[in-house]
Amino acid sequence: MDPAQCPAPPKSGPIRDGDRQRLARCLELALNGRFGAAPNPMVGALVCDARGRQVGEGFHREAGGPHAEVEALASARSAGAEVAGGSVFVSLEPCCFHGKTPPCTAALLNAGIERVVAIHRDPNPRVAGGGFRQLQEAGVEVAWLAADDPLVSRALQANWRFLVQQIAQRPAVTLKWAMSLDGRIATSTGESQWISSPEGRSWALELRDEHDAILVGSGTALADDPRLTRRSGRRKGAILRIVLDRRLRLRPTARMLTEKGPVLVYTGPGTPGDSTRDARTATLRAAGAEVIQLEDPSPATVLRHLHGRGIQSLLIEGGAEVLGAFATNHAFDRVAVCCAARLIGGAQAPGPLGGRGFEILEQTPRLTPFSSEIRGPDMVLTSFRDRCLRDLYESVGG
């Protein structure tokens, strides 16, 4: 489209006293969709009547189900409240297109809502300010927070998986490991089960519920024979389990192949004249794995391929060589570390990031300040790649 014909970006109306508090409640409601909303964003909403009294609230429970605004309007109506002339507060710009459900802008207009206040714009190209514009054009007062508002930062971090996929056109990536306080992910003899406590391990299972897919290198698949399954029952469906395995060393008897759920093996082209390769591929396929040959299972190629399959979020659980490859290629968005109350030591015991690492400090990825939580005797730490959060801010107009 000729840029001169692009509609001007909508402008926010004023934020009033009490708006932020209501938006903070919307974000709290949104987080109830932590394990169900994907691939959609987590969204929470509340409705106030024409006199400003809160009369309903709701959140987006699962993809394909009603959006938060529709849930909130329904809860107000079922309580017998009159919503016409009222306001709706919502954590994300209302959608304005027909997806699996009709547009929320239509639901708001049909309900006679006169004011809509949101935390931030939706960078999804099918919305991208269009929801705000449609409401304003219909005479609704619309306001949203300035990008430097602390609530915007919290909302962006909550929906980082959805937003990264929209912006970067690849899955959102978490690098995860468990280490001793002295930074070892295994002993010098390769023993790593279990460095973390049962409480630390249950946090790791929560991470699996937040991601669509989980990835390990062939080294970990051989050394630990992990199942890589979801076990909490919080999130429906099996997680896609991925092994990077250029030499096709994964054993057909591996536990991940005997557990229910898909297993995908990314391999490379192999060496010319290796006649056993076809046989190993056939054996792994017979054992239930999908084997895909890439030019090279490098971080960028793997992420591109997974994006093509609609994978929104990827949890990388090791080992050191694979974590190091994704880290040094800046192919990650978040780091999640369980720091166990234990000391391992030993110059030969591996740290979390193998490979060549960075040689120049200036080139190392900067991370945002840690969030930390105590789980049993362990401390769990999460942090975003600084660049990732800056991209999220830019996408919502910051």
Q: What Cα–Cα distance (Å) separates residue 254 from each residue in 106, 221, 320?
A: 51, 8, 20
Asked if 143 interacts with ligand NAP (CB under 6 A), we say no
Antiparallel, parallel or unpaired: β 172-180 and 334-340: parallel
Is the CB of 186 or the CB of 315 nearer to ligand NAP?
A: 186
Residue 304 corresponds to which tokens in the numbers above? Answer: 């591109």
Question: What stretches of 260-352 show up as alpha helix (H) in DSSP?
Answer: 276-286, 299-308, 320-328
Nearer to ligand NAP, 27 or 320 (CB): 320
Annotated catalytic, 362? no
CB of 74 to ligand NAP, least distance (A): 44
CA-closest candidate to residue 108, choices 132, 88, 82: 88
Q: Which of 103, 131, 297, 398 binds ligand NAP (CB under 6 A)?
A: 297
Contact between 209 and ligand NAP per CB under 6 A: no
Nearest distance, CB of residue 322 and ligand NAP, angstroms? 4
Q: Does position 245 bind ligand NAP by CB under 6 A?
A: yes
Q: Work out which of 314, 354, 382, 388 binds ligand NAP, going by CB under 6 A.
A: 354
Instruction: Determine the interface stretch with ligand NAP among 73-81, 127-135, 141-149, 245-253 (rule: CB under 6 A).
Output: 245-253
Tokens of 54: 């809160």
The minimum distance between CB 253 and ligand NAP, in angstroms, equals: 18
| Position 216 contacts ligand NAP (CB under 6 A) | yes
Q: Under the criterion CB under 6 A, does residue 325 sit at the interface with ligand NAP?
A: yes
- Residue 220 found at the interface with ligand NAP (CB under 6 A): yes
CB-neighbour burial class of residue 304 (10 A; exposed 0-12, middle 13-18, buried 19+):
middle
Give the one residue of 247, 285, 309, 390 binding ligand NAP; rule: CB under 6 A: 247
Residues 6+ apart with CB under 8 A from 187: 344, 346, 349
Q: By CB under 6 A, is residue 223 in contact with ligand NAP?
A: yes
Question: Of 78-86, 96-104, 213-221, 376-384, which segment contacts ligand NAP by CB under 6 A?
Answer: 213-221
Please give the full DSSP string across 367-391, using - where no structure is assigned: BPPPEEEEETTEEEEEEEBHHHHHH
* Sheet (strand 263-267) strand order: 289-293, 263-267, 240-244, 213-217, 313-316, 172-180, 334-340, 378-384, 371-375
Residue 262 vs residues 120, 214, 227: alpha-carbon distances, Å: 36, 11, 11
Question: Is 308 an interacting residue with respect to ligand NAP (CB under 6 A)?
Answer: no
The reply on whether position 130 binds ligand NAP by CB under 6 A is no
What residues line the site for ligand NAP (CB under 6 A)?
Answer: 177-178, 185-186, 190, 192, 195, 216-220, 223-224, 244-247, 249, 297-298, 317-322, 325, 354
Active site residues: 69
